[in-house]
Structure 1
Amino acid sequence: MSENLVTVSGTKEEQYRNLLPQLKALLAGESNRVANMANVAAALKTQFDFFWVGFYLVDTTDELVLGPFQGPIACTRIKKGKGVCGSAWSEARPLLVPDVDAFPGHIACNSLSRSEIVLPLISNGTVIGVLDVDSYKLNDFDEVDQRYLGQIVALLV
């Protein structure tokens, strides 16, 4: 696939359906996970104009470190079990947060973030990182996002 992304309008599901095969084709020829994460973050930011899209990677047994992302500067390190990203890592499950201010222990890397979805990247039964997507809007994420972002994360592990 070329490095040109074809974006579409329409429902969220239509946008993901258009994006998913393009990502599959783009990632199929590249084995470097960091390069693939960078392209995934760029594609998601371009298609959906989310506030922030990026990855945090397991750096030590108790800490995530910032990986490839698109958006404003971000927190560099997050402890396991802390905030939405650290909680998704420690619980090894996706977390969908309609209002980040209502999430106990939320880490405010940027006050403009209003809602968030985080999905763990699990390889051989171990969480190796998380995909973090933030929105300017409250309650911007739902089961459609979780399903398709889950498919996208699966392409990376």
Structure 2
Amino acid sequence: MSEDLHFLSGSKEEQYRSLLPQIQSLIEGEEDLIANLANVAAALKEAFDFFWVGFYLVNQDELVLGPFQGPVACTRIRKGRGVCGVAWESAATQLVPDVDAFPGHIACSSRSRSEIVIPLFKDGVIWGVLDVDSDQLNSFDEIDQVYLEHLTTYL
């Protein structure tokens, strides 16, 4: 597939429905995980103009920063700390409308206002998380959760 993506300007759900098959085609057949994660982060950032999109990968007892798009980020996050660490520990998506109201939020950037974090599973084991931040409050909802969780099944 060409590395050019085509973005719709409709509803959020229409945008996801158009984008996800393109991402699947983009990474299909590529065996390198880092290359695929980098392209997924870039596609999501470009399509939705999110403030920050990236991956943290499990490395022993920490999440370590992986491919991302956006400003510099925290490099290591302990299990149970911040939104990413809670998503890892709980094995559940974290949908946070206001990061300032999230107990123990780690402020990698003071401009981050809302966040969604999806655990990445392989054979029932979490190997990382997809982290998406917005510089606006209440940016993420169930539509984001459904489509981003589906997207992670491609990885």
Alpha-carbon shift at residue 10 of structure 1 (Å): 1.1
Render the CA deviation track for 1:34-88: whole Å, top value 9, x for unaligned. Answer: 111100000000000000000000011x200000000000000000000000000
CA distance in 2: counterparts of 1:91 and 1:35, whole angstroms: 27
Q: 1:113 maps to what in 2?
A: 112
Normalising by the residue count of structure 1, what TM-score does the alignment of the two structures yield? Answer: 0.97
The alpha carbon displacement at 1:141 in A equals: 0.3
How far apart, CA to CA, are the structure 2 residues paired with 1:85 and 1:149? 15
SS where residue 132 of structure 1 aligns? Answer: strand
Stretch moving more, 29-38 or 71-80: 29-38
Matched residue type, 2:64: V
CA distance in 2, matches of 1:34, 1:121: 14
How far apart, in 1, do the equivalents of 2:91 and 2:32 lie? 23
Aligned to 1:12: 12
Tell me the equivalent position of 2:38. Answer: 38
Query: Pairwise CA RMSD of aligned residues?
Result: 0.6
Structure 2 unaligned segments of length 5 or more: list them: none
Q: In structure 1, the residue corresponding to 2:106 is in which secondary structure?
A: coil
How do 1:50-61 and structure 2 match up within 5 A?
50-60=50-60
Give the stretch that moved more between structures: 107-116 or 23-32.
23-32
User: 2:26 — aligned with what?
Assistant: 26
Distance 2:5 2:38 in 1: 14
Equivalent positions of 1:1-157 (< 5 A) are 1-60=1-60, 62-156=61-155
> SS of the residue aligned with 1:155?
coil
Q: Distance in 2 between matches of 1:14 and 1:135?
A: 20
Aligned length: 155
